[in-house]
Structure 1
Amino acid sequence: MALVRESLAVLLDRMYAAYMSRFKPLDQTARHNLIRVLSEVQAGMYHQLLGDLSFLADQLFPDTATGDYLRMHWSDRVPPLYAVSAVGQAEVKGVPGTAVPAGLVYTSASGKRYFTDKATKIDSTGKAEIWLQAEEAGAASNLASGQKLKLSSAIPTGLSSEAITLGSGIVGGVDEETDEEYLSRVLLALRNTTRYGKIGDFAAWAVDSSADVSKAFEFKNFGIFGALLIQVVSGDHFNGITQVGNLSVVTSYIDSVAPPVLYTVRTPTLRPIDMTITLLAAESSSENQSTAEQRIKTYLNASARPGVRYTEGSFRDAIVDGIKISWAKVELTNGSHGEFTTTILEYPVWGTVRFAVK
């Protein structure tokens, strides 16, 4: 939080209230010794002062600053990524020819509000597709396809009070990046001070484009024109991988910083990896099962990318350490001949894992 210097009048009132709470001159017998009252109030003042100084000491240096102070140190070189509002399409019904004005407000079952920013008309079939934007930025405003919305503003004549989300729903809403995520981008920018379109630069620009993009990958000679393919995903293997909702934001940012290169931005199809892990009976505890899962997630988080190839042996080696888990067998239930492969249009994610005992 920012340091706020209170006015002298406010400080006088606070100090007077602090003294009066300890010393009551109207009582027949004072509850506290006057020196005791003075010492306690002075101690409180110095405690607050030292707290403010300690806070400012952290904010003065780029590697210990937090929040807005951290971003003020680096924002001229690494622009911060703030929360983004979700957008998407919905279907409304009504009398053919009825105007659907801009500015209508719809509310979801969770209480989130969405508004139309463009006017349209009900077509001859009695339907219209409208674009909705979330009033509140952040991931909490994302809605899946088929969700119902209620019109909370005045209902125009001839228009239904209900809308249903279409396509992939209302997506693209992301939360502001954390201090840790921002610092990791700062360190990456410091290590790579020159970006002009070399290998890895487009992926780095994609990560810088939106807080929704956690990882990006480059693939050359994609399609009939040999364009550069940039695949982007959101999240991690510990908390879950999702597709990036608003690819136009990523493309717009790359257009603004990259040289004129033919490229395309996509988000890959997510392919879950299902497996059965067999442990020794003496080692098949719930703790070891949890350890095995965490080790596989760590392995996936470090190695997963579109076009990757995994074997049963690679997952087994990630699990066995010779101490807690001395032996394990991994069977890929949705693999082929002991292997799990993806194309450059697919991304491997954590699937269903079952445990067996030998």
Structure 2
Amino acid sequence: VENGKAGDFISWALASSSEVSRAWEFKNFNRFGALLITVLGGNASSGFMEVSNIKHIQNYIEKVAPPVIFTVKSAEIIEINISVDLLPEEDTISNRNKIKETFNLYFEERACPDMHIASQTFRDLIVDATSLTDATITIEGGDKYITQLQFPVLGVITWL
């Protein structure tokens, strides 16, 4: 990042407000090539939320950052609803709990703006050839691209 090293704007966004728990920076946002700072509040266990005090965060960063064109936006939360169809002999409470834990861990560790969410990824995470030999995973509305202004969270898991 020109006039500041990569990660500085993330640090400043996190320091600007206790409401901000996660932040990302993206170069060349919109046609003017501004630096985009996407922020999010909350956490995986209590739930993520959009940040409301964007103007305060923008003002704080303007005071501490070198002169550079940037903008701060709160990430829109996108729920990813997943349907899981297991083989009848493998559709157990234990396997369902394992799948829920796996999906929760995936979203906790991997979720971020600017990513693809694909049903094949979730299938690959759970089919281990031991306790689960096959599964059909469907994401409501199909595979998704999460933009720089969005953040994916696990929605409802439907068991078929």
1:237 CA drift (Å): 3.3
Indicate conservation of the 8 Å contact 1:219/1:230, yes or no. Answer: yes
Whose strand proportion is higher, 1 or 2? 2
How do 1:337-356 residues align onto structure 2 when only pairs under 5 Å count? 339-356=143-160
1:298 CA drift (Å): 1.1
Q: What SS class does the counterpart of residue 296 from structure 1 fall into?
A: helix
Kindly indicate whether residue 76 of structure 2 is the aligned counterpart of residue 269 of structure 1.
Answer: yes
What residue is the counterpart of 1:311 in the other structure? 118
Indicate conservation of the 8 Å contact 2:103/2:122, yes or no. Answer: yes
TM-score (norm 2): 0.87
What residue is the counterpart of 1:215 in the other structure? 22
CA distance in 2, matches of 1:327, 1:209: 47
Greater Cα radius of gyration, structure 1 or 2: 1
Q: Which amino acid aligns with 1:332?
A: I
Higher RCO, Cα 8 Å, sep 6+: 2
- Relative distance call for 1:320 and 1:240 in structure 2 (3 A) is farther
What residue is the counterpart of 1:299 in the other structure? 106
Q: What SS class does the counterpart of residue 255 from structure 1 fall into?
A: helix
Q: Which amino acid aligns with 1:281?
A: P
Indicate conservation of the 8 Å contact 1:273/1:334, yes or no. Answer: no
Indicate conservation of the 8 Å contact 1:238/1:297, yes or no. Answer: no
Indicate conservation of the 8 Å contact 1:231/1:265, yes or no. Answer: yes
Indicate conservation of the 8 Å contact 2:117/2:146, yes or no. Answer: no
**Please, which runs of 5 or more residues in structure 2 have no aligned partner?**
none
CA distance in 1, matches of 2:78, 2:159: 21
What residue is the counterpart of 1:45 in the other structure? none
1:204 CA drift (Å): 2.1
Aligned-CA RMSD value = 1.9
CA distance in 2, matches of 1:253, 1:221: 21
How do 1:251-270 residues align onto structure 2 when only pairs under 5 Å count? 251-270=58-77
Give deviations 1:181-218, integer Å, cap 9, x for gaps. xxxxxxxxxxxxxxx72112211221222222121111
- Relative distance call for 1:236 and 1:323 in structure 2 (3 A) is farther
How do 1:184-203 residues align onto structure 2 when only pairs under 5 Å count? 197-203=4-10
1:270 CA drift (Å): 1.7
CA distance in 2, matches of 1:284, 1:317: 17
Q: Which amino acid aligns with 1:354?
A: T
Q: Percent identity?
A: 37
How do 1:328-339 residues align onto structure 2 when only pairs under 5 Å count? 328-335=135-142, 339=143
- Relative distance call for 1:210 and 1:241 in structure 2 (3 A) is same
Aligned length: 158
What residue is the counterpart of 1:126 in the other structure? none
1:232 CA drift (Å): 0.5
Indicate conservation of the 8 Å contact 1:237/1:350, yes or no. Answer: no
CA distance in 1, matches of 2:153, 2:134: 24
- Relative distance call for 1:297 and 1:222 in structure 2 (3 A) is same
1:223 CA drift (Å): 2.4
Q: What SS class does the counterpart of residue 85 from structure 2 fall into?
A: strand
